[in-house]
Amino acid sequence: MAQQVVAVRPVDASRIGELKQVVASALAEAESTGASQAEADVSLQRGLTVTVRLGEVDTIEYHRDRGLSVTVYFGKAKGSASTADLRPSAVHETVVKASAIAQHTAADPCAGLADAEALAREIPDLDLYHHWDIQPEQAVQLARECEAAGLACDARLKNSEGATVTTHSGVRVHGNSLGFLAGFPSTSHSLSCALVAQERQDMQRDYWYSVARNPGALESASSIGKRAAQRALRRLGACQLSTRRAPVLYAPELARGMFAHFVGAISGTSQYRRSSFLLNAAGQAVFPSFLNIVERPHLLQGLASSPFDAEGVATHERQLVSDGVLQGYVLGSYSARKLGLKTTGNAGGIHNLLVSSGETGSFDELLRRMGSGLYVTELMGQGVNAVTGDYSRGASGFWVENGVLAYPVHEVTIAGNLRVMLRSIVAVGSDVDVQGAIRTGSLLIEAMTIAGE
């Protein structure tokens, strides 16, 4: 490489002390303006992204972000402001602006900090920080190795969208006027590859990836490249299907999205705005009786693990779905008050949902159970109505006959209604994908409309 590159210094726990001082300063400034309550959140983020395409460096990007957000309350009137400047003068100005906004905001009886008794008192170490001491030159070499391993698999692999290495480290500190002040560092690393296979005029693209808190937990570069190659090659010769109704099997990385729609529907915001296809569904059977979902925020090295939520509320394990029955909603303090409930420690999102099922099996067993149907490996478009649950998305994958993959399929649309689809889950596979906030295996739906030729 001709250009000179420098290493990216990590953001680690050593910065927590100075960030706590910034938050404490913001809270003190808020008190001096006469605010009855205040909270502040500050973060530092650093990272490196390197992409190689066809053996040549495509991009080297450094990321460095910092930010402070301040929210003040004058009674039930709320004002918020943010800044990327952490100097004392900027902190003062940010608090002044937040206070000015609050003076022109209508009072909201549900506004305010989280209840004091809900705040985290102990901050467990969840092993979320693992610095990757990788230099840009090393990242380039790793990406080259990944892409080359894939391209070497077959002469039909004639092009590439590149291989990408990403490393990220950050520290977040949150505090409020109720005495909460805590923070923790975290890291996230990834390696991915996307390849293009070509046979005569037929061109097909596919990818693979690995994501982890600890770089030592990433899949090897060569295995990721080879997996991307295999996935692209097997799509050659894809055709359309005639319109029909048939079982549908979602790959694990796509099944996660199905449960994400469910989480959106049971979020407090969707519930109090009455914009959910699962409105007032708590206590109802939303899934088949064999399905359970538990939230485990304290999984060591979990990609969605956190000792407290965006409001400083302690996170804790909870059974979200038991024997198919929805046990409650996903709430922050504001949405909880709007619904007359208590926060569930989910301000800012969910923390490691684990889907389990008594009706399970390996991927091959699910194929045999399906018999004939569509195995979906890619989804396109955003045709999901969160209010009605109507679902229609472009898809590609493989047609299954007699329990085995028969031939690749593309340019079809799969459609249904999410409420019906969730109740029509036949089985969840044992091939659990842990690379996200929702951990699930392959998902077999009893039947959906498949629109093609």
pLDDT tens digits along 237-275: 999 999 999 999 999 999 999 999 999 999 999 999 999
Over range 318-327, report the average pLDDT.
98
Q: What are the C-alpha distances in Å from 169 to residues 17, 65, 146, 184? A: 17, 11, 23, 11
Per-residue pLDDT for 438 more than 70? yes
Q: What's the mean pLDDT when you consider all of the chain?
A: 95
pLDDT tens digits along 180-204: 999 999 999 999 999 999 999 999 9
Q: Name the residue among 269, 249, 285 with its Cα closest to residue 331.
A: 269
Alpha-carbon dihedral of residues 197, 198, 199, 202, nearest 10 degrees? Answer: 110
Distance (Å, whole) CA 284 – CA 278: 9
For domain 13-233, the CATH superfamily is PmbA/TldD superfamily (3.30.2290.10)
Read out DSSP for 385-448?
-TTT-EEEEEEEEEEEETTEEEEEEEEEEEEEEHHHHHHTEEEEES--B-SSSEEB--EEEEEE
pLDDT at 358: 85
Would you list the domain boundaries of the chain? Answer: 13-233, 244-451
pTM over 0.75: yes
> Are 309 and 316 in contact, with CB atoms under 8 Å apart?
no
Give CB contacts under 8 A, 24+ apart, made by 14-20: 15/44, 15/171, 15/185, 16/171, 16/173, 16/183, 16/184, 16/185, 19/43, 19/44, 19/171, 19/173, 19/183, 20/173, 20/175, 20/181, 20/183
Distance (Å, whole) CA 210 – CA 165: 10
pLDDT tens digits along 158-176: 899 999 999 999 999 999 9
Read out DSSP for 38-91?
EEEEEEEEEEEEEEEETTEEEEEEEEEEEEEEEEEEETTEEEEEEES--SHHHH
Per-residue pLDDT for 3 more than 50? no
Calculate ∠ Cα 307-313-316, nearest 5°.
55
Per-residue pLDDT for 6 more than 60? no
Q: Which of 68-82, 138-152, 171-185, 358-372 has the lowest mean pLDDT?
A: 358-372
- Percent helix, strand, coil in the chain, to 5, is 25, 40, 35
Q: How many residues does the chain have?
A: 453
Place of tokens 């080297």: 60
**Any bridge partners for residue 210, and if so which?**
191
Read out DSSP for 425-441?
EEEEES--B-SSSEEB-
Distance (Å, whole) CA 170 – CA 5: 21
pLDDT at 2: 37
Per-residue pLDDT for 9 more than 70? no
pLDDT tens digits along 97-122: 999 999 999 999 999 999 999 999 99
- Intra-chain end-to-end CA distance of the chain, in Å: 50
C-alpha atoms less than 13 angstroms from C-alpha of 229 in its C-beta half-sphere: 19
Written as six digits, the tokens of 45 are 């983020």
pLDDT at 325: 98
